[in-house]
Structure 1
Amino acid sequence: MANGASSAGHVDNSIVIAAPYDLVWEMTNDVPSWPALFSEYASAEVLQHDGDTITFRLTTVPDDDGAQWSWVSERRMDKEQGTVRAHRVERGPFAYMEIFWEYRPTAEGVRMRWVQDFHLNPGAPLDDAAMEERMNRNTVIQMERIKELVEQRAQRS
Structure 2
Amino acid sequence: MPGHTENHVIIRAPMDHVWARTNDVADWPNLFTEYAAAEVLEDTGDRVRFRLTMHPDEEGRVWSWVSERHLDPDTRTVVAHRVETGPFEYMRIRWTYHEVEDGVLMRWTQDFAMKPDAPVDDAGMTERINANTPIQMNAIKRVLEAEAAALPAPGTETPSSETS
Instruction: Name the TM-score, length of structure 1 as normaliser.
Output: 0.95
The one-character-per-residue Cα deviations of 1:56-109 (angstroms, maximum 9, x if unpaired) are 000000111111100000000111101000000000010000000000000110
1:115 aligns with: 109
SS in 2 for 1:99: strand
Q: Which ranges in structure 2 are unaligned for 5 or more consecutive residues?
A: 152-164
Work out which of the residue numbers 45, 58, 67 in structure 2 matches 1:73: 67
The aligned amino acid for 1:116 is: Q
Q: Does 1:20 align with 2:14?
A: yes
Distance in 2 separating the partners of 1:10 and 1:28: 22
Identity %: 55
Specify the alignment match of 2:119 in structure 1.
125
Deviation beyond 3 Å, 4+ runs, structure 1: none
**1:116, CA displacement in angstroms?**
0.4
Matched residue, 1:3: none
SS at match of 1:131: helix
| CA distance in structure 2 between the aligned counterparts of 1:137 and 1:94, rounded to whole angstroms | 18
CA distance in 2: counterparts of 1:65 and 1:123, whole angstroms? 19
How many residues matched? 151
Q: Which of 33, 41, 46 is matched with 2:40 structurally?
A: 46
1:11 aligns with 2:5: yes
Q: Which residue does 2:83 correspond to in 1?
A: 89
* One-letter identity of the residue aligned with 1:75: R
Q: Distance in 2 between matches of 1:110 and 1:71?
A: 29
